[in-house]
Structure 1
Amino acid sequence: MVNIKVVLTDELRQFVDQEVREGDYAGASEYVRDLVRQRRRSKAADLLRQLIAEGVASGLPAPLPPGHFQKLLERASNRE
């Protein structure tokens, strides 16, 4: 585990302390770790929404030729 020093204004420190008291956090470090995890999930959700929008905007799917998946399976089997 790595330690990171974070400098907060008095106002922000009071806010963090209040969040720790009101939440189920053991301390400020746990609170900050939770914030980082939430941000990571938020960014992943944003990316997923973007990819879905791109997929929808790309139009209707084109049908694959007959035997397409069988050929993929055969190619994958030959790589072993």
Structure 2
Amino acid sequence: MSTINISLPARLRSFVDERVVEGGYGSSSAYIRELIRHDRDRQLLRGLLLEGGESVPTVTADRPYFEALHCRVRRHSPE
């Protein structure tokens, strides 16, 4: 694993320290890694949404479509 050194103002460092304790992270590095993972996932999702928005619809997104989708989600959701 490689390392990165970052400089933070005291107020941000205090915020990170609080989040580490409150969030149950083992270290500030673990917290920062989690933030980076979330940002990466957000970027990926954004790209997929943009790609989907530019694609040609293959089904009509009408009431029956969303009702069927809702039923599928309920079947796969933990109770």
Q: Same fold (TM over 0.5)?
A: yes
> What is the CA-CA distance between 1:56 and the residue it aligns to?
3.9
> What is the CA-CA distance between 1:24 and the residue it aligns to?
1.8
* Stretches of structure 2 lacking an aligned partner (at least 5 in a row): 60-79
Task: Write out aligned runs for 1:1-80 (5 A).
Answer: 1-56=1-56
RMSD over aligned Cα, in angstroms? 1.8
Between structure 1 and structure 2, the one with the greater Rg is: 1
Structure 2-normalised TM-score? 0.69
Aligned partner letter, 1:17: D
CA distance in 2, matches of 1:8, 1:32: 12
Flag as ranges the 4+ runs of structure 1 deviating above 6 A: none
State the identity as a percent.
36
* Stretches of structure 1 lacking an aligned partner (at least 5 in a row): 61-80
Query: Aligned residues, how many?
Result: 59
- Per the alignment, in what secondary structure is the counterpart of residue 26 of structure 1? coil
